[in-house]
Amino acid sequence: MNNLDLFKNDAYLDLKGIIPKDMCNLVSQYALLQELVTPKKEEAEGQVPFAHSGYGDLLMETLMLFMKPHMEAHTGLELCPTYTYFRVYRPGMILERHTDRPSCEVSTTVCLGTNYTNVSQDFNWGMYVDNTYRHNADDNGFISANNPGKMISQSPGDIIVYRGCEIEHWREEFVAGQGSWQVQAFFHYINKAGPYYPEFAYDKRPGIGFPLRHPAEKT
């Protein structure tokens, strides 16, 4: 079964080595430097409390445009970009099981970099997906949570393409030693032939690169 059929059938794709490792290293170091110089949050906010994150960062938005032809080739869809988000995960953090809002109709999570300490040699902090129940706009936030899902491991350069509004996805607690980190970027698109275009084009911003609309994103 080719990727077009897999995406249509499973609502996600596990793709390895899509982004060059040198590019991943540069962007992950950029995110870590941002984390270093940004004042720490005094209160828990957003979906992953105290994690350094950013919406609509210009470098990430540029990468999203770079990825658009790859996304279209693997999904067979003509896509309109909506927005980007990135996050630096640290030990103890959890990404709760969820589905996404309409601007995330077709999404990808990109592993940009990892650094694990005090873990086994084969340790990987992957993302879980559960496509046994296909969500829609009438679910009102319903989460099935009955299936353990499938954990997809990622190394720098790997991407997971998924229908963010339809399938549940999450990350269990990041259990690793002090100083560990993982940088993920999220690029979101909508199908130009789908129900969310053109209303959610550019996440209702004037265009790509314009300022933040949503300070706390579920991604």
Kindly report, residue by residue over 8-30, the tens digit of the pLDDT. Answer: 999 999 999 999 999 999 999 99
Determine the Cα–Cα distance for residues 108 and 12; give it in Å rounded to an integer.
9
219 band by pLDDT with thresholds 50, 70 and 90: very low
Q: Count the Cβ atoms, other than its own, within 10 Å of residue 132.
A: 12
136 band by pLDDT with thresholds 50, 70 and 90: confident
Structure tokens at 51: 């994690």
Domain, as residue range, for 185:
3-35+50-191
| CB-count burial class (<10 Å; 0-12, 13-18, 19+) for 36 | exposed
* Number of domains making up the chain: 1
Q: Is 147 contained in some domain?
A: yes
Instruction: Give the pLDDT mean for 80-96.
Output: 97
Q: Is 219 contained in some domain?
A: no
Give the tens place of pLDDT for each residue, 56-74. Answer: 999 999 999 999 999 999 9
Q: Is 162 contained in some domain?
A: yes
Q: Is 218 contained in some domain?
A: no
Q: In the prediction, which pLDDT does 38 show?
A: 93
Q: Integer distance in angstroms from the first to the last C-alpha of the chain?
A: 28
> Which domain CATH number covers 60?
2.60.120.620
Residue linked to tokens 């650094």: 115
